[in-house]
Amino acid sequence: MSVSGTGLLARCLQHEADHLDGIVYVDRLSPENRRETLTAARLDG
């Protein structure tokens, strides 16, 4: 069986498939954006 989608659903599929490989979306950001995002996660939490 398969599930395919475009746009939002396509993003969800990739996001969740990444998790199965131990990858979070932050890992895919540019170094600058990654640092900014991780710092924000720490400060905003």
Partner 1 sequence: MVGGLFGEPVSFLIGEQSPQPLVLPFGLLGALDESGDPVGQLGPGRLQLIGDLSDQVTFPDQVPEALDADGGLDPALAGADRRITGDRERTDLGRVVDVGAAAELPRPGPTDLHDPVSGYVVNPRLATATAIAGTLTYPEGCLSVPGPYAPLERAALAQVTGVDADGR
* 39 neighbors 31 (Cβ within 8 angstroms): no
CB contact set of 27 (below 8 Å; sequence gap of 6+): 18, 34
7, 16, 21, 44: the active-site residue? 16
Q: Which of residues 3-22 bind partner 1 (CB under 8 A)?
A: 3-17, 19-22
Does residue 16 carry a catalytic annotation?
Answer: yes
Phi-psi sector, 7: left (phi>0), alpha (psi -120 to 50), beta: left
Q: How far is the CB of 36 from partner 1 (least distance, A)?
A: 7
Count the residues of the shown chain that bind partner 1, applying the rule CB under 8 A.
Answer: 41
* Contacts with partner 1, residue ranges (CB under 8 A): 1-17, 19-29, 31, 33-42, 44-45
